[in-house]
Structures are given as structure tokens and as C-alpha cells.
């Protein structure tokens, strides 16, 4: 189709965008039903996350970050992978914004459960969700 043909000269960003468009069409979509991950209740249809039964007031980036982390507990995600999950192109300097989003997300989680630390930092590697620390 139209996504298959790229006119020269082309940029790698253009090729990456077209590959993502093709993969979105081809890969099966996740069901939009609510799912539970430990103390978290994720509702994709309403774009809401409950933590220990309390609704979290999240920005769209915080929601997507937490959704990405909850999808694969214990997996360490690099900043670049988390940016990809947000649908943000990797630009110089923006990679560190993940740190500030994680910081504000942790603050919101502490308001509900002060002693819990579900988002773990792996120095030099990235972040992960740890159900045992929830």
C-alpha cells in the first residue's frame, strides 16, 4: 500500500513511522477491558487507574508510563523504551523528562500508600514495576 513505498531521499524517522503504522494494522490489538495487576486496577476504556481502590489523577504521560510498567512486572524498561511507549520521538534531552514523570507518578502513589514503592529505579538501566513492593 501507500506505506510500502518511500520516495528518495528519505529520513530514518519517516521509515520508522511507516513501519509503526504497518505494525499497528497487522498486530492484534489488546482488549480494552479492565485488568488488575496487584493493587492496581487498570481500565483502558476509561483511561483510569485505581491504586488500592483509589482513583489516581494522572496526566496522559503518567497513565501511559504506568500502563507500560504494569504490562510487564519486573521487566526493566530503559528511558528510551518508556519514551517509545509514550509515543514521543527520542530527541536530545527529552530522555531525562521520563525521570520527572516518574517522580510525579511516585508522589501520587505515595499519597495513597505511603510505605509502598512499586516503581523501582535500576541505576544506569531504567525503571520497573515490582508487585512485591506495592
Fold of 36-133: Arc Repressor Mutant, subunit A (1.10.10)
The pLDDT tens digits for 89-103 are 656 567 778 899 999
Instruction: Domain ranges for the chain, please list them.
Output: 1-30, 36-133
The pLDDT tens digits for 18-77 are 888 888 777 766 655 566 667 899 988 888 999 999 999 999 999 999 999 998 999 999
User: Is residue 54 a contact partner of residue 93, using CB atoms and an 8 Å limit?
Assistant: no
Question: pTM (2 decimals)?
Answer: 0.70
pLDDT confidence of 3, banded at 50, 70, 90?
Answer: low
Least Cα distance to 99 among 132, 122, 72, 131 occurs for 122
- In sequence order, the 6+-apart residues with CB closer than 8 A to the CB of 52 are 39, 112, 113
Q: How far apart are CA 7 and CA 31, in angstroms?
A: 36
The pLDDT, as a whole number, for residue 28 is: 65
Least Cα distance to 1 among 36, 27, 25, 32 occurs for 25
Selected residue with higher pLDDT from 127 and 45: 127
Amino acid at each position: 500500500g501507500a506505506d510500502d513505498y518511500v520516495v528518495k531521499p528519505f529520513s530514518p524517522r519517516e521509515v520508522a513511522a511507516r513501519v509503526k503504522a504497518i505494525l499497528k494494522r497487522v498486530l492484534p490489538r489488546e482488549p480494552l477491558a479492565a485488568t488488575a495487576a496487584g493493587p492496581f486496577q487498570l481500565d483502558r476504556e476509561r483511561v483510569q487507574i485505581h491504586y488500592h481502590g483509589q482513583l489516581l489523577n494522572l496526566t496522559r504521560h503518567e497513565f501511559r508510563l504506568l500502563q507500560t510498567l504494569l504490562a510487564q512486572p519486573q521487566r526493566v524498561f530503559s528511558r528510551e523504551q518508556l519514551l517509545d511507549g509514550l509515543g514521543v520521538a527520542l530527541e536530545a534531552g527529552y530522555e531525562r523528562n521520563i525521570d520527572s514523570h516518574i517522580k510525579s507518578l511516585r508522589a501520587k502513589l505515595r499519597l495513597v500508600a505511603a510505605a509502598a514503592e512499586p516503581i523501582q529505579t535500576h541505576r544506569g538501566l531504567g525503571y520497573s514495576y515490582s508487585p512485591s513492593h506495592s
